[in-house]
Structure 1
């Protein structure tokens, strides 16, 4: 992976931060849905450029120049995330600016891909099929931005679902995508998981940035960091390498199909789970010294975020051939079942309970894995 790709991905770190900010400011279920729609739109733009950079080196001057233009558009879209649904007073219309920047990112992507694939008829044909998904989806984003209100929410949701679904069907019909490097693909997605986990670390500090340090903050920070490390372990201890090996073992079409299903699609659930968990951490740290109940909003963000992450790793594990990821499914069920408890205990206790449950499941999974490996060798 080139340093320019890493630099390109940094604009998405800012986008992740803006999505978390939107969730925190709205502090409602609708706000979380709005933010997840924005996250999915931004994720789909990142996915598009990751396919290009796997097929052609981003160190080429032409690719760097065009991807720089895309970075500018991504950054403008990220800047407008806080007013993507409600235009702030003064300046240009926020939803329209977001829709325009988003459309620019998608148009630049398709144009660049056509240039990169100018000698590959299979990819060019696939890109023409891809336009069937792109044009209606972008149109729905623009119409939603123009109408605003509840119509915007549902039109953007419809645009997102149509884009994902039509792209999946079109990819199965066209069979034209290329994924030359399994190592690059796995490494690139592993890096974006790290970047998202960085948001959970930032959330720890955001929650108490202006508070004097005391024992509650120190305990909450320690628990939050341990939780972030557990999420890191859950992905990188077994799954990251298994994904790369599965990609390497497949032929051209099967590799591209697995790359789309296990990474372009399943990884969105993993990233979304991390971002929602970060929201729960931030909410807990803001009130870490309080004796009052954590409440349903923070508890749901914390517990459901971990459960979403775990569910994403289950899907990823099954797709790449990891046998019986039972403990990941158990983790999702246990954290969801624990939501009523997390809601009625103080925020610090909720953090400790979430860390304890996640850690116990990780230890159990590790022990079962070692036992299975010992039995296999014997």
Structure 2
């Protein structure tokens, strides 16, 4: 981890727990931020479990809405951690409190749409915990901006309050009304919050002090998300004795996880970080907003759906029947969504279109009916083959780019 700059040390001595320590271009991810991310691992597992339990398109939509709520909070605190050190003073206190609230959100995922008899009303508890996380973020962000006398950033943070309040009203109404109305109002709340923040940020005054910290934070979350696909292997296999089919399925599932990692980290993440580092001021903030804060949600959603499909494959690996439309769509459609998200990321960062990845997306979508009808391991194997072929083709096609970026 990078040592704080001398200007940081000067700020460090004032204010006790209420101090904030500003960052600079050399800032890197702190261990407290890694600790902070752990609650999101639990939340992702709960969301995948919810979608598997519901086993319906509507349940998947609900799961993705919950994922969007959680993603918005994580991305918000990544902006904050780039403004000031997360492991010092007010940020440590605020993010620690937010962790507890996020954990409450994760605990209530099974009751987010269907309250269980007895106890507190699950949907309202979830919304209240979510709003606590968001309010803490804006309060601490404003304090961090004030500490460095950044009037532009203070104004930008103030502009974020109205969409939060509007979305809060929609979320509370949805939680109280329940049913499909809740789903529609939650979607509307996200559209309002995400949409207004995006529009007011295009020419705004958000800051990205460190490109290295920024790209590293998103890369680490990607690893956590891909880890969910590995955890899904264990969840799917939990009710079965060890068998040849189970071991083959686990091996293919690990191969898919490696493929997901490879397609993001081998070249793309490095090239995107270089492009972000070359920018300064508002252009850098715009790229960070569009390609990372918004663009990466699609990538993460694709990973979660792929994990859902892998879990279904392992759970039914010995059934002797077809995988079925639900898990077949999650497996192939989720992987296609992941690759489509990577395509969008490449486009938003100005890297350009990858024809092999576009072809792979189309192939995976075309494979959905076959994956639904084929035995589970066959469908899983088809996805692994598509990813392997894509990696080989790109390895040849972009060998020079890879050599320049990685020196190998």
Q: Shared topology, TM-score over 0.5? A: yes
Distance 1:232 1:373 in 2: 15
Distance 2:30 2:356 in 1: 35
Deviates more, 1:288-297 or 1:150-159: 288-297
1:155 aligns with 2:185: yes
CA-CA distance at 1:373 after TM superposition? 7.4
1:251 aligns with 2:276: no
Counterpart selection for 1:302 from 296, 307, 331 = 331
Tell me how large the CA RMSD over aligned residues is: 1.3
Aligned to 2:357: 328
1:47 aligns with 2:58: no
Unaligned runs of 5+ residues in structure 2 are: 1-28, 404-408
Distance 1:291 1:362 in 2: 31
1:365 aligns with 2:394: yes
CA contact (8 A) 2:90 2:140 kept: no
CA-CA distance at 1:365 after TM superposition? 1.5
Counterpart selection for 1:32 from 25, 45, 60 = 60
Counterpart selection for 1:99 from 127, 139, 156 = 127
Distance 1:76 1:373 in 2: 43
Counterpart selection for 2:210 from 171, 181, 205 = 181
Structure 1 residues 32-53: Cα deviation after superposition (integer angstroms, max 9, x where no partner): 0000000000000011110000
Structure 1 residues 104-158: Cα deviation after superposition (integer angstroms, max 9, x where no partner): 1111111111101112111111112111211101111111001111110000011
Unaligned runs of 5+ residues in structure 1 are: none
CA-CA distance at 1:320 after TM superposition? 1.7
TM-score, reference length from structure 1: 0.97
CA-CA distance at 1:372 after TM superposition? 7.2
Q: Which runs of 4+ in 1 moved over 4 A?
A: 371-374
1:5 aligns with 2:33: yes
Aligned to 2:246: 217
CA contact (8 A) 2:108 2:123 kept: yes
Structure 1 residues 231-256: Cα deviation after superposition (integer angstroms, max 9, x where no partner): 00000011110111011111211001
Deviates more, 1:188-197 or 1:312-321: 312-321
Matched position secondary structure for 2:202: helix
Structure 1 residues 159-206: Cα deviation after superposition (integer angstroms, max 9, x where no partner): 111111111001024x11000000000000000000001100000010
Distance 1:313 1:49 in 2: 23
Aligned to 1:236: 265
Distance 1:372 1:2, change over 3 A: closer
TM-score, reference length from structure 2: 0.90
CA contact (8 A) 2:267 2:402 kept: no
Deviates more, 1:321-330 or 1:188-197: 321-330
Distance 1:178 1:372 in 2: 30
